[in-house]
Copies of this chain bind each other. A is one copy, B any other.
Amino acid sequence: MLDALKREVWKQNLRLRDLDLVLFTWGNVSAIERESGLVVIKPSGVAYETMRPEDMVVVDLNGHVVEGSLRPSSDLPTHLALYRADPSIGGIVHTHSTWATAFAQAGKDLPAFGTTHADYFRGSIPCTRAMRPDETKAEYEKNTGNVIVETFQTRTIAMSDTPAVLVKNHGPFAWGKDAGEAVYHAKVLEETAKMAAITTMVCPNAAPAPRHLIEKHFTRKHGPHAYYGQSR
């Protein structure tokens, strides 16, 4: 079942490596078929070299395995919490990409210092609060998802406007309308994190870009007034 989606999720998992976003098996991509509510995700701890499309695991939105002989990624409950929170999300990526993880470890939001960032994210990429001991003890991965959702709600950020988050002391998650866009956003996040770190290195008190510039670039690429690219 879902052969095309399994192939796509497999392909996007491999693309993580081609884009230099993962070391060893340190990342996972999933995608959802919204009609059936079925999610396809990478199996846990399997090497990219030997992984095949048919190794992808199919689960429902409660995390029950519907098809597949391997165990799903241990981060599955985090993915599911995000799919449940925003129906516009079609694909999710988790990595430990170097520069984005450094910001997560620092517990700092990634500021929108420039248009590279604002072309894809409508403001700072938030860093979650620390997980409490009780949240870590049981259902840790599900609670990770809940803390992400809480972060966007508390700070009134639309998950579709800013499709990435930094989990404190852990690393980034990114999403999009499908698995391919989620991987694309994960790469943009890593590149903008690198640019932001260097920005603060050459100017420790650098300020974010002005609001009107961020809005200009975001709406140049997204929404009814977009005029970038060919598809209009």
Tell yes or no: A4 within 8 A of B by CB: no
Enumerate A161-195 residues with CB–CB distance to B below 8 Å. 169-171, 184, 187-188, 191, 194-195
Select which of B46, B187, B202 is within 8 A of A108 by beta carbon.
B202
On chain A, which size bracket covers the interface?
35 or more
Q: Which of B45, B108, B171, B210 contacts A230 (CB 8 A)?
A: B45
- The answer to the question of A102 belonging to the interface, with a C-beta cut-off of 8 Å to chain B, is yes
- Is there contact, CB below 8 Å, between A98 and B169? no
Contacts of A201 in B (CB 8 A): 102, 197, 200-201
Report A71-108 CB contacts with B as 1/0, cut-off 8 Å: 10010000000000000000000001011011111111
Add 15 more A-B contacts to A44-B229, A104-B114 (CB < 8 A).
A44-B230, A45-B229, A45-B231, A70-B230, A71-B230, A98-B195, A99-B198, A101-B116, A105-B113, A108-B203, A114-B169, A115-B171, A116-B171, A130-B210, A131-B213
Q: Which 5 A-B pairs have the closest CB atoms?
A: A45-B229, A106-B203, A102-B198, A105-B113, A169-B209
Sample 14 A-B pairs with CB under 8 A, ordered by A number: A23-B188, A24-B184, A26-B116, A44-B229, A96-B116, A101-B114, A102-B198, A102-B201, A106-B199, A106-B202, A113-B169, A115-B170, A133-B210, A200-B202
